[in-house]
Amino acid sequence: MTFFVITWLNTLKAWWNGTTVGQEIDAAGAAALTELESIGPSDLENIAEAVATAILPGITSGAAVGEIIGAGITAAETAFKSASANVASTTVSTFVSALHNSVTAQASTVAATPATTDTPAA
């Protein structure tokens, strides 16, 4: 079974690397990483918090993804400027998309987790 999985993953990787979209996504991710690594940790944390704060209401209310991403991009552009960070628009959109995916997954987990009430021991 392991051989099959490894073969399948290698085939998928070869396909991805051979596609234009795969190469473009990988290049955008690498460029974003390089730009984000040049920003100090506390500034990057503040930027991430600003974006999360901007997108969370849309996620929890079920707004359209385009509206959520738009709010995140606006918040990110403002936060990057505030931190004097000079990043490309593709980095902003990659950063916001990644945060959107993360916050959406976390919000779904929280929504699916039943609330517990503390009951006093008898």
In a domain, 12, yes or no: no
In a domain, 92, yes or no: yes
Number of domains in the chain: 1
Residue count of the chain, please give it: 122
Burial 102-118 (b: 16+ CB within 10 A, else e): ebbeeeeeeeeeeeeee
Alpha helices (H) in 1-122, listed in sequence order: 2-18, 20-37, 41-61, 65-82, 89-112
Structure tokens at 82: 């505030």
Residue numbers of the domain that contains 95: 40-105
Task: Write the single-letter amino acid at 49.
Answer: E
> What pTM did the predictor assign?
0.70
Task: Write the single-letter amino acid at 92.
Answer: V
Residue-wise pLDDT tens for the chain (122 aa)? 577 878 888 888 888 888 898 888 888 888 888 989 999 999 999 999 999 999 999 998 999 999 999 999 999 999 999 999 999 998 899 899 989 988 888 877 766 666 666 655 55
In a domain, 59, yes or no: yes
In a domain, 48, yes or no: yes
d(CA 97, CA 80): 15
